[in-house]
């Protein structure tokens, strides 16, 4: 029986010739990740184990990013806990203010995630690294603690769904639109504990930033992970960012998939997810008819805070002004992205059009800070979740969209697409 790409990676890291869906395995880890919210819990657990140090100081990444720079005393104490643990254990990959970034944008940029890796992170969007051909998945803080201590983790081998992406997407259709379309099609539990494996000729038209966005939101369909095949674009990206050697795995021709979906990318339109679940999708053509007046636009997050995202937003905003009363908040994913955006003049565009630009942070995505919504306010956001109260008051509403739709909506003062301004 053939294996999927995910199953091959897991088999190799478990020291097995083959694995099947549902099998319980113990696998070696290439990287264990935590942030300022989840790491303190893991650190307190690892302290209870009475172990001396961590399994490998070079294979742990600690990235305070949710409430940094610290927004209050509690967040400061959380970061202090992580900082002291990193110093005590001489953690190589500790990134805070000055070197900071949103974890899932930062780690690939730093070359810490490459093809063939097994990665766990105490953050649900750890599945992002499937874009570079790694098996990566979110875990709880206690699993993170065990991973830091032993370098191993238990997994139930997931079954898989094959998403065959075909043809070239139209202008303004990005990775965000593709994954929102998929989630709208299968639902928020449509890939529950499955590996979402993306194949097909359409992948060749997707940038690495598109792929990161799609893999990032696999969890929003219930997926255990999302993963892309390793093509030349991916190898070039890894070579540019990492000195580690990737290990390339390919699905067997007779790999077993629970389901297969063919998606014609050329037929897709910019897509928006309405409150209060990512599966509540409409095309922008449908959404415009609803005349949704908004209060705020957020462009950023681990989903859409990369250079492609900022460039497309700036291309729409350049020479224009945001609508009266609209708060436009732009958050680059990392310090490098921030600096590159300054060099390219993108930050100037965002400020001149009436927006504000923040240092890298998750901030508003989880209702942390830098963009909390008040009662009955509406936000078009490039983030990944639009649950009740996710960005603030329980009566507020979040409309998930691509950077192109978000930028156009900021100009219009209501939900709209880039072809309608």
Mean pLDDT of the chain: 96
Domain match, 258 and 343 both? no
Taking only the tens place, the pLDDT of each residue in 196-208 is 999 999 999 999 9
Domain match, 289 and 197 both? no
Q: What is the pLDDT at residue 388?
A: 92
Parent domain of 370: 270-420
Q: Per-residue confidence at 72, pLDDT binned at 50, 70, 90?
A: very high
Domain count, the chain: 2
Helix (H, G, I), strand (E, B) or coil at 121: strand
Taking only the tens place, the pLDDT of each residue in 3-53 is 999 999 999 999 999 999 999 999 999 999 999 999 999 999 999 998 888
Looking at 230, 263, 296, the residue that finishes a domain is: 263
Q: Per-residue confidence at 1, pLDDT binned at 50, 70, 90?
A: confident
User: Are β-strands 271-273 and 281-283 bridged in parallel, bridged antiparallel, or unpaired?
Assistant: antiparallel
d(CA 122, CA 139): 5
Q: Which residues contact 200 (CB under 8 A, 6 or more apart)?
A: 163, 164, 165, 166, 262, 263
Domain match, 223 and 254 both? yes
Residue 218 pLDDT exceeds 90: yes
Domain match, 250 and 303 both? no
Looking at 208, 228, 263, the residue that finishes a domain is: 263
Residue 232 pLDDT exceeds 90: yes
Taking only the tens place, the pLDDT of each residue in 351-408 is 999 999 999 999 999 999 999 999 999 999 999 999 999 999 999 999 999 999 999 9
Segment 144-169 mean pLDDT: 97
Domain match, 276 and 221 both? no
> What does the radius of gyration of the chain's CA atoms come to, in whole angstroms?
20
The domain that holds 144 is classified in CATH as: 3.30.499.10
d(CA 302, CA 383): 7
* Percentage with pLDDT > 70 across the chain: 100
d(CA 196, CA 265): 17
Domain match, 294 and 385 both? yes
Domain match, 151 and 125 both? yes
CA distances from 218 to 68, 130, 403 (A): 26, 10, 19
Domain match, 113 and 147 both? yes
Domain match, 388 and 414 both? yes
Residue 97 pLDDT exceeds 90: no
Of 341, 324, 282, 322, the C-alpha closest to 406 is 322
Q: What is the pLDDT at residue 98?
A: 86
- Judge contact between 64 and 38, C-beta under 8 A: no
Q: Which residues contact 31 (CB under 8 A, 6 or more apart)?
A: 59, 60, 61, 107, 112, 113, 117, 119, 120, 121
Q: pTM here?
A: 0.96
CA dihedral 363, 366, 367, 372 (to 10 degrees): 60
Segment 87-110 mean pLDDT: 95
Domain match, 250 and 287 both? no
Tokens at residue 143, please?
């699993």
Domain match, 254 and 184 both? yes
Length in residues, the chain:
421
Looking at 263, 279, 303, the residue that finishes a domain is: 263
If residue 61 lies in a helix (H) or strand (E), which one and from where to where?
strand 60-63
Taking only the tens place, the pLDDT of each residue in 263-278 is 999 999 999 999 999 9
Domain match, 176 and 277 both? no
């Amino acid at each position: 029986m053939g294996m999927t790409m995910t199953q091959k990676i897991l088999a190799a890291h478990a020291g097995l010739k083959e694995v099947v869906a549902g099998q319980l395995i113990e696998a070696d880890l290439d990287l264990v990740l935590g942030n300022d919210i989840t790491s303190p819990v893991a650190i307190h657990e690892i302290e209870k184990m009475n172990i001396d140090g961590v399994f490998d100081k070079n294979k742990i990444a600690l990235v305070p990013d949710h409430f940094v720079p610290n927004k209050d005393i509690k967040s400061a104490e959380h970061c202090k806990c992580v900082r002291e643990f990193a110093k005590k254990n001489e953690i190589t990959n500790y990134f805070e203010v000055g070197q900071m970034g949103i974890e899932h944008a930062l780690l690939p940029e730093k070359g810490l995630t490459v093809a063939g890796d097994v990665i766990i992170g105490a953050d649900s969007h750890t599945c992002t690294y499937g874009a570079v051909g790694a098996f990566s998945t979110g875990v709880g803080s206690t699993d993170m603690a065990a991973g830091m201590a032993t370098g191993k983790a238990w997994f139930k081998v997931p079954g898989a769904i094959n998403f065959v992406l075909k043809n070239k997407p139209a202008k303004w259709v990005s990775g965000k639109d593709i994954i929102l379309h998929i989630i709208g099609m299968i639902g928020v539990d449509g890939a529950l504990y499955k590996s979402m494996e993306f194949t097909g000729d359409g992948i060749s038209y997707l940038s690495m930033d598109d792929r990161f966005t799609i893999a990032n939101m696999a969890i929003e369909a219930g997926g255990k992970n999302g993963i892309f095949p390793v093509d030349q674009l991916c190898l070039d990206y890894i070579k540019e960012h990492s000195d580690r050697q990737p290990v390339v795995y390919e699905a067997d021709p007779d790999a077993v998939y629970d389901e297969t979906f063919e998606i014609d990318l050329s037929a897709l339109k910019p897509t928006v997810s309405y409150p209060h679940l990512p599966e509540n999708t409409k095309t922008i053509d449908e959404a415009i008819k609803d005349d949704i007046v908004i209060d705020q636009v957020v462009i950023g997050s681990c989903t859409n805070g990369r250079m492609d995202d900022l460039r497309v937003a700036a291309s729409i905003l350049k020479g224009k002004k945001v609508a009266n009363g609209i708060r436009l908040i732009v958050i680059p994913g990392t310090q490098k992205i921030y600096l590159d955006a300054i060099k390219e003049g993108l930050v100037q565009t965002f400020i001149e059009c009436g927006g504000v630009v923040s240092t890298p942070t998750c901030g508003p995505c989880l209702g942390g800070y830098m963009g909390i919504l008040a009662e009955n306010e509406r936000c078009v956001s490039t983030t990944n979740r639009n649950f009740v109260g996710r960005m603030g008051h329980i009566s507020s509403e979040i409309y998930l969209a691509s950077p192109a739709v978000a930028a156009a909506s900021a100009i219009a003062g209501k939900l709209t697409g880039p072809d309608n301004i």
